[in-house]
A and B are shown apart, each in its own frame.
Chain A
Amino acid sequence: MTDSIKHTIKKISLKLLVLTGVLVGLDLLYYYTLYPQDIERNCSLMEISQRAKAGVDMVYLGESSNFSCAKSDTDRRSISTIIGESLPAHQVGDLSKAACHASIYYDILRNIPRQNDVKTAIVTVNMRSFTAEWIYSDLETALRKEQIMMKKAPALYKRLLLAFKAYPVWTEEERSAIIRKGFKKQTFSLPHPFPYRNANEWDHGVGGSYTLYNGMQPSADSLALACHHIKHFACELDNKNPRIKDLDNIVRLCKKRGWQPVFNILAENVDQIDSLCGPDLLYLLERNVQYVTDRYEAMGVIVVNNLHAVRDNDFFDRDFPTEHYSQTGRKAIADNVVKKIATLR
């Protein structure tokens, strides 16, 4: 190494040191000036965390299933409200936002102020959230963007990540391709011979043959719905699934902060799944629910299994699998959660 190069390296190192000082100063400047405004504008999730204010001893983390109502509902209370009213000794904080999943719940929980009265965290577990359609959903970009500002990092660094788009940005075309790849990775095995090895093959098999499992020729709408169910539920959960990792993180966080985690496995339209896709898909779904139950009960989590709790006519979205229940459905879910919590107390 020549003297001139040594000199250059020395000069660069010195300037990098000065730059570090400048960055620290800018971080402080940003934190006290524009950061609160940026949080307000780009991170509604932070506001959700702040809902766990003094006195709130139970938080309910959910997505649209918590507050979606059918047009005909006379009782428009959310699941969390019903839980709160059924447990008058507790004050329930609603930390819900549409399209949320375990990764977002983890960040919301992590950002609950240090000074809090929370004792129990009820976390919604949506079985659809484990598969590609949701993992790469079009709502994911906005959520992941919001998540950046919730990171445990210097304010200026978080803003840098936001400015340099450190979150997935996909065009509709790109997203479709990623989801299709995801379906191929949704492999499973059944206890008997089965013609399909993954969700993609099953979806193509049913869609291409225009025939349901029982040989019936469905209407175009029913066929589309059957394919949606297959894509959402045909998988075999294991600890590599990103949502399982998120749920593990939630359990760890709850333990660290002294909260009792309650996993509320949401009801799916099992009647529709059974009639359109047959017992094999239902078997996979039940097996996955069992996996979640066994895994997390072993970790000390209270798991409420609502999979079969709501009947077909209490799901009001008819053309796509959702967990949007009518008032009877919401009440059934809330009652099961309340019962489980009450039994254990």
Chain B
Amino acid sequence: MYLCRPNSTPDEMLFNSIEFLIFFPLVTLLFYLLPHKHRWLLLLAASCFFYMWFIPKYILILLITILIDYSAGILIEKWEEDKTRKKACLVVSIVSTCLVLFIFKYLNFCSANLVALAQHFGWAHPQKILDIALPIGLSFHTFQSLSYVIEVYRGNQKAERHFGYYALYVMFYPQLVTGPIERPQNLLRQLHEHKELQYDNIANGLRLILFGLFLKMVVADNLGAYVDKIYADPFQYSSGDILLGMLFYSFQIYGDFFGYSTIALGCALTMGYSLMDNFKTPYLSGSIQEFWRRWHISLSTWFRDYLYIPLGGNRVSVPRWGLNTLIVFTVCGIWHGANWTFMIWGFTYGVLLIIERGLRNIHLFDKIENRSGRLVIKICNIAKTFVIVTLLWSVFRATSFGNLHDLFAALFHNGMLPSKLHVQPVAWAALALFIVFDLLIRDSRFDVWCGRQRPAVRWCVYAFLIFAVIALSSVEQIPFIYFQF
């Protein structure tokens, strides 16, 4: 069995890897064996180990941002009365933290675009590419750090004096790589609390982990194999195949990210820590606005609290509100990755929200609602939102505009081609089960839903999920989609 990794192989410790299957129970066991005063040290060491599994030296980048924001927090609190110094401290902290993000994530993108622009105007300028890998979870822990500094500045959070606890708040391994992006008021506070071994926490945590593994390994990975084929060479496939590929991607990305977040929640919960929910049946949203309230909640609320509201929120004129919305969603798009496709994806959501708000004033649907009943309207709205979201996922998934163009060109030209996708029954079954589970759980959470069932039903569900995760999962290595961000 391959357990001893060769030196310096820059791969992540995935939640669905054999290494994590050993790491997680070991850390949890040690956590409960240690007295409370030493637990932060164990969790910090485990988080460092988890992070350093990728590229060990990158821990220094994290350490620098942690040091900056830790110091900034203390200074902001110290200069409570001196508004200028306090603000300067906040600005320095935000700029330096964002600078790290910019260098690693956006520098090459900006450089490439500037060179292209220069060439457009006939200026020969060689492009310099920074040959560096993006540190895993950089966008996530950058935002988490920023949220701490801003909250201290706003006076909603006391500055953390214990460096170890602050470092742990940024590095807490379950949510270090792809969130949820926590707020200090929730996580930092809990890290100080004494956590007793409680059966409910262990049971609920393990339930969440099992369900998360099912979403990732059975749903997302089985569907992902077909999606990859279609996006790699769209012209090989019929229009029906491409539509199916788009549909599969909608569920792949949901299963993948929801799966990861659920495992993160479960890992934290086994130690008694409660992280925020990241998803609430987003594909049952009746509007784009509702979708963003249910999808990647920790990110959308981050943007709401730290960008949208400071820009004026709803309390501004309609044109200004429109502009703010476009800014917020374009930034949200570019947060996902240094590519024009992400920017366009985010910008389009901004435009759609503006249109949606405009249409809200037309009360045409009120009458129809009275006549046809709430349910039909609701289903129509859900279907409409899902179609829009699915179409926009294709922009998100495309590797470039060229790839996106090929996808749509093939969609409109390959109508007569016979289907080549040959979807295995296991993929259909996974998709159907995912939808069933999503409908069953709805606005609740899997662990809560499970807890409400009779023991026999509960154990049948466990047995089924264990069997599915082991026997029906994809044997291909498909990394978590959000790891790249």
Contacts and interface: CB of A to CB of B under 8 A. Distances in A.
Most chain-B CB neighbours within 10 Å: which of A11, A26, A144?
Answer: A26
Interface in A1-15: 4-5, 7-9, 11-12, 15
Interface stretch (A50-58, A168-176, A296-304): A168-176
A170 B1 contact: no
Most chain-B CB neighbours within 10 Å: which of A159, A164, A170?
Answer: A164
Interface of B: 1-3, 5-11, 14, 16-18, 21, 196-199, 202-203, 217, 459, 462-463, 466-467, 469-473, 475, 477
Given A159-B470, A174-B9, A181-B8, 12 more contacts: A8-B198, A12-B202, A23-B466, A163-B16, A163-B217, A163-B475, A164-B16, A165-B16, A165-B477, A166-B18, A170-B9, A174-B11
Contact of A30 (B2, B202, B467): B467
A169 B479 CA distance: 11
9 contacts: A4-B196, A8-B198, A11-B199, A25-B463, A26-B470, A160-B470, A165-B14, A166-B2, A169-B477
A161 B199 CA distance: 28
Contacts of A38: 471
A161 B198 contact: no
A7 B2 CA distance: 37
B18 A161 contact: yes
Contacts of A9: 197
B197 A163 contact: no
A26 B473 contact: no
A87 interface: no
Contacts of A161: 1, 18
B412 to A, nearest CB: 35
A166 B3 contact: yes
A344 interface: no
Contacts of B203: 15
Nearest to B200: A8
Contacts of A4: 196
A64 B388 CA distance: 52
A169 B21 CA distance: 17
A122 interface: no
Interface of A: 4-5, 7-9, 11-12, 15, 18-19, 22-23, 25-26, 29-30, 34, 38, 42, 136, 144-145, 148, 156, 159-171, 173-174, 177-178, 181
Contacts of B467: 26, 29-30
B18 A8 contact: no
A159 B18 contact: no
A169 B471 contact: no
Instruction: Give chain A's interface secondary structure class.
Output: helix
A126 to B, nearest CB: 22
A9 B32 CA distance: 11
A42 B1 contact: no
A282 B8 CA distance: 33
Contacts of B473: 163
Given A26-B463, A144-B2, A165-B477, A5 B197 contact: yes
Nearest to B6: A178
A181 B11 contact: no
A174 B133 CA distance: 12
A200 to B, nearest CB: 15
A8 B202 CA distance: 10
Contacts of A12: 199, 202
A110 to B, nearest CB: 16
Contact of A18 (B5, B6, B7, B459): B459
Closest 10 pairs (CB-CB, A-B): A166-B18, A163-B473, A164-B18, A8-B199, A169-B477, A160-B470, A174-B9, A178-B6, A11-B199, A26-B467
Contact of B2 (A5, A15, A168): A168
Most chain-A CB neighbours within 10 Å: which of B196, B197, B217?
Answer: B197
A42 B3 CA distance: 21
Nearest to A6: B197
A15 B202 CA distance: 11
Contacts of B196: 4-5
